[in-house]
Structure 1
Amino acid sequence: MKGIVPTLRRRLPAGGFAALLTVLVGCQQAPPTVNLSGASTEAQNVREGRPGTYRNKLTINAGPLGTVDTCADPDIVRGQQPGDRQWYLYCTTDPLNAGDRDANGNFNFRLITMAKSTDLVNWTYVGDAFSQRPSWVWPDAGMWAPEVAYLNGKYFLYYTASDTVRGGSAIGVATSDSPTGPWVDSGGPVVEPQRPPVGDPNARRWVFDADVIQDTSGQNWIYYGSYFGGVAVRKLSADGLRSDPATQKEIASANRYEGSNVFQKDGWYYLFASATDCCRGPLTGYSVFVGRSRSPDGPFLDRDGVDLSATYVGGTPMLSMNGNRWVGPGHNAVFTDASGQDWTVYHAIDRFDPYLAQPGGLNKRPALLDPIDWESGWPTVRGGLGASDEVMPAPAAQPGQRSAYRTPKEKVAQPGKLLAAFSDEFNGTTLDGAWTWIRPPAPSAASLEGGVLRFDTQNADLFGDINNASVLTRPVPQGDYLVEVKLSVNLPGSGCCFNFRQAGLVIYGNDDNFVKLTQASIWDTRQIEFAKEQGPVAPGFPRYGNTVLSAAAPDAIWLRIARTTENGEELYTASTSRNGTTWTRGSTWTHQLDANARIGLVSMGGPDFTARFDYVRVYNVKEKFPK
């Protein structure tokens, strides 16, 4: 989904996104096809049989039109016809850059841009897939999320039509003998507009973000879906033009995932899917999660064995913010280079340069590239380091080449010495004197009972200008530290909609500056939200952004935030555990909360439920290589 993505705090009406499309799409003429020679370094590397190096973002040269500065939802394929040594890159509908405008000063929204490269690093823009929308697509609809497959000696370009003449979104397809067209549309949807599997029967499902594979038996499959309706899979015909609704299965939860990509390896089908908001400027929390199955139609389980379609939604974090300049990495595609090394291409946002033009306008989402490592059968980017922002060994783009990439070693912040003066086991009958309430709750709403802090969820919040929730706080230690809590929230095991009841941990500077890690009810799901709020901000910039972590739990959940410093910035990294022993690391937010920050506990978002905190433990931080 491109640009209309709810954060966990946004309330979009079911199916009510058509009015927002005016900021995403527009009518324009196709640009001339541009055929440029590659950079001299590219030619030299190819001659010498070595891949060279690169640094994110990927450079896409458009000659007199400048550079392609935004390449959302990227897809990479290798040329399949004899003698074709090129790789091809496809991007969702967007302007090329801030200056890509018509005579009236309006952006030219290019209908799926295409580029080519012989080294996977230096790219040349070669035009757009479409000069106009097919007749069955609504005249101002978005054409998003290209997926290119090679079937039966032809190239198939699958795309999202955000709206159709008959109403609702759909997946379309065009074919060509060449990876750069001309593309001939099939004349109708491969996956039709449809109702969501649950919920309002009059609403329209978000039929977005196609991915196509062929299984080991030769059967084609098409995956699609987004937040409203979830992710589904169904069989695709041998000619690649039709799908069978009778074979459809729901494989990933609504209100959690979109941008599916399925990669086959060692007898497993790995489902990569993206979560949260793609497009919130420097506070974008978009992230990639993974589950796997022995069957192309699931079920897909994460590393802890939790289903990606469960109420307590599964998904092992694979790619998220790591504290460098890149935020919101997501909507990825996985491919294998000429030497057998796996890579992922994805888009992200530079938090220091987030917008294509004015603040709060179109997000600038360039394409990034990084290697994938496999640890005990599970993918990770750069051995867990995530998105790169340094010079990297390039992929092996041509036969006979071998990338110089080697899996790096990563140090992980882990608990060191317990700092008892900053911790609390809640074994007494009254709170110790280090705790201070910000906006004390009613006396009956919180108490110590049987070795736990009972804290009822309040009809209050800590979000934007709504700052009426109670926060129980105590000081943080000097320097780096790690805070761990164990809690449970008696949210229902299924059902909708208990938005946005939540409880958990806050590193609190003030009502407008904090990071928050909570177990929360989000429509018909239960998730772990990791959010950042900052203020004041410049006009047009967001104040609140969020991401999510690995699976929540119906009983106890353990949460950690590690505060470290790097290059003068404070980094806050979240981790979760479902058993208190095995931890899964998630995202890193940067913030400037300084030494006056406080450890906080919250239980809020609406009435009727109760959180129980078993303890708050604070440690100094030790960094070591994971086993």
Structure 2
Amino acid sequence: MTVATALTLMGCQQTLQVESVLGAQRRGPPLTYTNPLPISTERGRIETCADPDIIRGQTPGDTDWYLYCTTDPHSGNDRDASGNLIFHPISMARSRDLVNWTYVGDALPDKPAWVRPDAGLWAPDVEYLNGRYHLYYTASETVAGGSAIGVATSDSPLGPWTDAGAPVVEPHPAPCCPDSRRWTFDPAVIQDDRGQKWIYYGSYFGGISVRRLSDDGLRSDPATQVQVASANRYEASNVFRHDGYYYLFVSSSDCCRGPLTGYSVFVGRSVEPGGPFLDRDGVDLNATYVGGTPVISMNGNRWVGPGHNAVFTDAAGQDWTVYHAIDRADPYLAEPGGINQRPALLDPLDWVDGWPTVRGGLWASDEPLPAPAAQAGDRDRTRTPKLRVDVPGKLLGAYSDEFTAPGLSPSWSWVRPPVAGMVNVENGALRFDTQNAELFEDRDDASVLLRPAPQGDYVVETRLTLNLPPEGCCFNYSQAGLVVYGDDDRYVKLAQVSIFETRQLEFGKEVAAGAPGFPRYGNTVLSAGAPTIWLRLARRLDGAEEQYTASSSRDGQHWTRGGTWTHALGGSARIGLVSLGGAGFTARFDYLRVYDLKQNHDLK
């Protein structure tokens, strides 16, 4: 036997031994995970990883996975010798199995010269382009003034990173306002089938746009800029290719209101990178009544505010999304009202009739689930669950009103009766003019029309027409809709509302004043509204908690579920109608119908 043959046989034997060990590991107890993802450091676990992004190693032999987080302290105890919180400029972590992560350093410890020294570095997006890793990030303030998108490159997913020396997307005005500074936030980069690179960016002030990128990925062309999502609705873009479409994932509402955070992810799709991006109902994400099909929102468990997601595919071909969320029982890193604790969560992304939804519509998980297939040979053990939702059962006539009588029935009562002529029953509907009044925190001067609610589980529904202008700004925050009312400081409200140039469906929750620093009002939003819209609130008892789930329909037949707020309104809570936020408009309610809750039916 020659030396070369012996070495070859020894190499084969070692390979077989390694494969045998890996096979034994795969044949052992299947790996599971439970949210949030654990990220270990020498000083303990990282408790927050907002705006997360994941990429797999792209060079030969590197099959590890890499996780990047927005700039934040790692925990409430992450402090320097003076007791000040330490901010890590884009934390990086590595994992072999996509479950157990180890912190390996900060990507940009020294800010580039064009970034203001006190700026934040947010929302990383790491792409492998032209044989190098590109780290795109938000600079919240530049030396020149305004926010911008930067980019740094490296041969390794862990750096060292070399900044390009100038923004890839420069500070510039919002489309609405020539002398403004747009929120140039949250980059997302893709390369299409023709090799053209694109960068998506933007936030509430200015909306979301896309531009063409240069071949090297370091510069964008302002002349190619196209608006793809409305201002004052979306941020945190992420684009993913699936079955011939570009899917634009975007987040909406306030990311950071502690236990009342209603941040949620929506999606639209297009056959071209430049849009238009339409939702499942064919509504444009640029429309006045803004489109967007829900991907994930609150589901009633401990997680609220799930958002700013990134989508990736594991080694077995299953799609996943990583995102941040807030534990409503543990929402802050340190003092109440300070930095929100937003750990990274991971869940399977399922495709139902061509549309993405997290866990088949069950949304954020809080129990052990099969882990992703992180390495070649790992099996896909995920299963799309069957989504069952609450729908109306038997009509409860004693609690309902078709508004066919000459006036309001005695079952109705007012909190603060309106002025004469503001409300009337006419032509088979209740007319309720919007008021220059509010039901918001310490301003409680709006008239609220209420009637008793059934005990136990129920669904309340109405058909609403609100004559907001079809285009234009600003009619903030004129609105009308449903309310389940405990008192002025304890309620949930589902309303069609004007927000700057948009018309949206807002689902809000207010709580009584509590500990200093905690919020009192939070909101999420639903899919697209319309001048005439059907609204539902389903109330379900879950132990000591009440769960309220909002749904809407543009035709009264096909319903889209939104988020779930938990509350404690009690058995004396009443159901009713509101029309407030600014005078000058008229709401027409065709009926108020109450049903018992029919359990476990598919949402069509």
Band of TM-score, shorter chain: over 0.9
Counterpart in the other structure of 1:56: 35
Matched, 1:553 2:530: yes
Q: Does 1:608 align with 2:564?
A: no
Residue pair 2:53, 2:69 contacting (<8 A) in 1 also: yes
Does residue 457 (structure 1) correspond to residue 401 (structure 2)? The answer is no
Instruction: Give the CA deviation at 1:219.
Output: 0.8
**8 Å Cα contact 1:487/1:612 also seen in 2:** yes
Aligned with 2:140 (options 162, 187, 194)? 162
Deviation at 1:536, TM superposition (A): 3.0
Deviations for 1:271-305, whole angstroms, at most 9, x for unmatched residues? 00000100000000000000000001100000000
Residues 58-457 of structure 1 mapped to structure 2, 5 A cutoff: 58-63=37-42, 65-198=43-176, 200-457=177-434
> How far apart in 2 are the matches of 1:623 and 1:385?
15
* Aligned counterpart, 1:3: none
Q: In 1, are the aligned partners of 2:196 and 2:215 still within 8 Å (CA)? A: yes
User: Mind listing any 5+ residue stretches in structure 2 that lack a counterpart?
Assistant: 1-19
Q: Distance in 2 between matches of 1:536 and 1:525?
A: 30
Match of 1:579 among 541, 555, 577: 555
TM-score, with length taken from structure 1: 0.92
Which secondary structure state, in structure 2, belongs to the residue aligned with residue 137 of structure 1? coil
Residue type at the aligned position of 2:51: D
- Moved segments of 4+, more than 6 Å: 43-46
Alpha-carbon distance in 2 for matches of 1:417, 1:89: 49
Tell me which amino acid in the other structure corresponds to 1:93: T
Cα gap change, 1:46/1:252 in structure 2, threshold over 3 Å: closer, same or farther?
Answer: farther
Q: Is the 8 A contact 1:372 1:383 kept in 2?
A: yes
1:624 is displaced (CA, Å) by 2.3
Kindly indicate whether residue 460 of structure 2 is the aligned counterpart of residue 478 of structure 1: no
**1:374 aligned counterpart, secondary structure:** strand
TM-score by length of 2: 0.95
Q: CA 1:45–1:62 in structure 2 vs 1: closer, same or farther (change >3 Å)?
A: farther
Which stretch has the larger CA shift, 45-54 or 70-79? 45-54
Contact 1:456-1:603 at 8 Å conserved across structures: yes
Letter paired with 1:89: L
Q: Say if 1:358 and 1:378 are closer, same or farther in 2 by CA, change over 3 A.
A: same
In percent, how many aligned pairs have the same letter? Answer: 69
Hey, what does 1:19 align to over in structure 2? none
Cα distance between partner residues in 1 of 2:113 and 2:333 = 30
Aligned partner of residue 363 in structure 1, secondary structure: coil
Deviation track 1:391-434 (CA, whole Å, cap 9, x = no partner) reads 01000000111132111122210000000000000001110110
> SS where residue 590 of structure 1 aligns?
strand
Equivalent pair of 2:228/2:286 in contact (CA under 8 Å):
yes
What amino acid maps onto 2:577 in structure 1? L
Instruction: Give the letter for the 1:143 counterpart.
Output: L
What SS does the aligned partner of 1:131 have?
Answer: coil
Q: Distance in 1 between matches of 2:543 and 2:363?
A: 18
In structure 2, what is the Cα distance between the partners aligned to 1:299 and 1:536?
43
1:44 deviation in Å? 8.5
2:7 paired residue number: none
Length, aligned pairs only: 582
Distance, in Å, in 1 between the alignment partners of 2:505 and 2:544 is 28
Q: Which has the larger radius of gyration?
A: 2
Can you give the 5+ residue segments of structure 1 that lack an aligned partner in the other structure? Answer: 1-42
The residue type paired with residue 523 of structure 1 is F
Q: Secondary structure at the match of 1:98?
A: coil
Secondary structure of the equivalent of 1:516?
strand
Q: Tell me how far 1:625 sits from its aligned partner.
A: 3.6
Measure how far apart 1:588 and its partner are: 0.1
**What is the Cα deviation at residue 46 of structure 1?**
8.1
Which residue of the partner structure matches residue 4 of structure 2? none
Secondary structure of the corresponding residue to residue 416 of structure 1: strand
Secondary structure at 2:259 match in 1: helix
Tell me the distance in 2 between the aligned counterparts of 1:452 and 1:44.
72
1:144-164 Cα offsets, whole Å, 9 max, x none, are 000000001100000000010
Provide the rounded CA distance (Å) in 2 between the counterparts of 1:617 and 1:46: 59
- State the AA in 2 paired with 1:256: R
Compared with structure 1, are the counterparts of its residues 359 and 44 closer, same or farther at alpha carbon in structure 2 (3 Å cutoff)? farther
From the superposition, tell whether residues 44 and 479 of structure 1 become closer, same or farther in structure 2 (CA, over 3 Å). Answer: farther
Q: How far apart, CA to CA, are the structure 2 residues paired with 1:537 and 1:371?
A: 36
Q: What is aligned with 1:530? A: 507
Structure-to-structure mapping, 1:468-507, within 5 angstroms? 468-507=445-484
Q: Relative to 1, partners in 2 of residues 1:46 and 1:342: Cα closer, same or farther, differing over 3 Å?
A: farther
Alpha-carbon distance, 1:47 to partner: 5.8
Match of 1:569 in 2: 545
- What secondary structure, in the 3-state scheme, does the structure 2 residue paired with 1:130 have? coil
Contact 2:473–2:501 (8 Å) recurs in 1: yes
Contact (CA 8 Å) 1:46, 1:119: kept in 2 or not?
no
Q: Counterpart amino acid of 1:590?
A: T
RMSD: 1.2
- Paired with 1:245 and 1:295, the residues of 2 have a C-alpha distance of 18
